[in-house]
Amino acid sequence: MKKIYKIMALVLVAVMLLSVCACGKEATKESKKSNDSIVGTWKSELDATKEIFGEFSSEFGDFTYDDGIMVTVCIEFNKDGTCTRFIDEKDTMKSLEKFIDALVDYVVDQAYEAAEAEGHSKEELDEEIQNRYNCTLEEYAKNSFTEMLDLEDLSNGHDECFYKIEDGEILFSYDEDDFDDASAWDFTLKGDKLTITDIEDPDDDYTGYYDFPIVFKR
C-alpha cells in the first residue's frame, strides 16, 4: 500500500503555494501591497475519498463509505515572502480514523462470516487471533489498516517555498530568484476567502485531478 503522503499526492499539490520575491524597487512595492492582503494562515477541507478509498475498493468491493475522507490542508503566507503548507494533523486524523473504524467493522463481519462458513465459531476465531497476535480481531484489523496508510507520515507533510503575486496569479518556486518555470494558481481574494480557480504547472498536468474552485478560509 502507498503511504498516506503518496496516496494524497493529488490533493497535497493544492497547497504548494509560494510567496513574493523582489525584482526591483517598483516591483517590490507593488508585490508587497498585494502580499499583505494574503498574509496569514488559510485552511481548506479537501475530499480525498476517491484517492484513499481507491486503495481499498478492489479488495473490498462491496464496502461502502458515504461520510467522506476529508484532508484539512493549511497554507501559511508570511510577510517575508515565504510560504509553508502543511496538513492539519488533528482534523485529518479524526476523519481518517472514522474511515478506518468503518472499514474495520466491515472486515470483522466478513471474517466472522468466513469462519462460520468453515464451521468455526466467532469465539474460536477470536481465540485464534488472540493466541497468534496477542490482540483482538478488531485491534488486529485496525493496526493493519493504520500501518497500510502509514498515518505517521501526516506529521511530515510540511513544505516550505516562495510565492509571487502577479497578474491575478500566485506563482510558486523553490528558488526565490527564479519564477520563470514556476507553478501558477489563478485565484480570487475576498476578505478571508481565497478561491483557487485553476492550476498550471510546467512539470505536471493536473487536469481532472481537482474539483475547482478550491476554497481556503483564513
- pLDDT one digit per residue (tens) for the chain, 218 residues: 333 333 333 333 333 332 223 333 333 344 444 567 899 999 999 888 877 776 666 667 688 888 888 889 899 999 988 999 888 888 888 998 898 899 899 989 999 999 999 899 999 999 999 999 999 999 999 988 887 766 556 656 678 899 989 888 998 888 988 988 788 889 999 999 999 998 887 666 555 556 789 999 99
Supply the DSSP string of the chain, one letter for each residue: ---HHHHTHHHHGGG-------SSHHHHHHHHHHHHTT-EEEEEEEE-HHHHHHHHHTTSTT----S--EEEEEEEE-TTSEEEEEE-HHHHHHHHHHHHHHHHHHHHHHHHHHHHHTT--HHHHHHHHHHHHSS-HHHHHHHHHHHHHTGGGGGG--EEEEEEEETTEEEEESSTT--TT-EEEEEEEETTEEEEEEEE-SS---TTTS-SPEEEE-
Contact indicator for 13, 51 with CB cutoff of 8 Å: no
Distance between the two ends of the chain, CA-based, in angstroms? 34
**What's at 128, amino acid-wise?**
E
Please state, in angstroms and as integers, the Cα–Cα distance from residue 170 to each residue in 70, 160, 165, following that order.
25, 15, 5
For residue 2, the model assigns a pLDDT of: 38
- 10 Å CB burial of residue 159 (0-12, 13-18, 19+) is middle
Q: What is the pLDDT of residue 208?
A: 56
Note the pLDDT of residue 109: 93
Residues 6+ positions from 84 with CB-CB distance below 8 Å: 75, 76, 78, 158, 159, 160
User: Residue 129's pLDDT is what?
Assistant: 92
What domain count does the chain have? 1
pLDDT at 20: 29
Which residues span the domain enclosing 78? 4-217
